[in-house]
Chain A
Amino acid sequence: DAGVTQSPTHLIKTRGQQVTLRCSPKSGHDTVSWYQQALGQGPQFIFQYYEEEERQRGNFPDRFSGHQFPNYSSELNVNALLLGDSALYLCASSPIDRNEVEQYFGPGTRLTVT
């Protein structure tokens, strides 16, 4: 049973460019959350998707947007990249069983903006 998978593993972009990161949740999970982890910091919540809708959003600008597909996979899009967007982007999925409250994290995508 595959866990949460993310692609790509690493990428390098230039300021002003746009980037798309992808996430496939763990089998049996229908909710996907995205987090940004800057170097030396804890993960910061970006937003969460459930039933193909953004259910909750953290304190991130509109440059950060997302999408969830019918198969529960998700994309994170960041427009007009800034140097400060360089970070590890983590995807987490949650089970359909609402009695399970933990989130399962993928390995992350390391984004470097130059």
Chain B
Amino acid sequence: AQSVTQLGSHVSVSEGALVLLRCNYSSSVPPYLFWYVQYPNQGLQLLLKYTTGATLVKGINGFEAEFKKSETSFHLTKPSAHMSDAAEYFCAVSDPNTGNQFYFGTGTSLTVIP
């Protein structure tokens, strides 16, 4: 069974400050890992993914995430927050053996303060 925990349902940062959104997972096998962003009244947009290989992955809009197997974490970061980053962020995992079902965390709402 797989599950995702996102610590902090709400995160506020100042414009230009570091963004750090936390994600920890539980999986019986090394999973595939994803971060999605959701803007109000819209669907989910893929930010980045980890499958295999390099543990630091870069995504769109300046975001990146690092897979740490020993910590079962996949935290999302961005060096400098922009007002347009304000949105809901979801971490998700899937089983590489099936890849069918995505398990999502409960989300983190990011507020960017001008």
CA distance A56 to B51 in the complex (A): 21
Contact B51 A45 (CB under 8 A): no
> Which residues from 25 to 52 on chain B have a C-beta closer than 8 Å to any C-beta of chain A?
32, 34, 36, 41-46, 49, 51
Q: Is A66 an interface residue (CB 8 A)?
A: no
Contact B44 A102 (CB under 8 A): no
Which A-chain residue is minimally distant from B94 (CB atoms)?
A: A101
Contact B45 A105 (CB under 8 A): yes
> Which residues from 1 to 17 on chain B have a C-beta closer than 8 Å to any C-beta of chain A?
4
Q: Is A55 an interface residue (CB 8 A)?
A: yes
**Separation in Å of the B36 CB from the closest CB of chain A?**
7
Contact A58 B101 (CB under 8 A): yes
Contact of A43 among B41, B90, B98 (CB under 8 A): B90
**B residues less than 8 Å from A35 (CB atoms):** 102, 104
Contact B104 A105 (CB under 8 A): no
Contact of B100 among A40, A42, A56 (CB under 8 A): A56
Residue contacts A-B, CB under 8 angstroms, 20 given: A4-B43, A33-B101, A35-B102, A41-B107, A42-B4, A42-B104, A43-B102, A43-B104, A48-B100, A55-B100, A90-B43, A92-B44, A94-B99, A101-B32, A101-B96, A103-B102, A105-B45, A107-B41, A107-B42, A108-B43
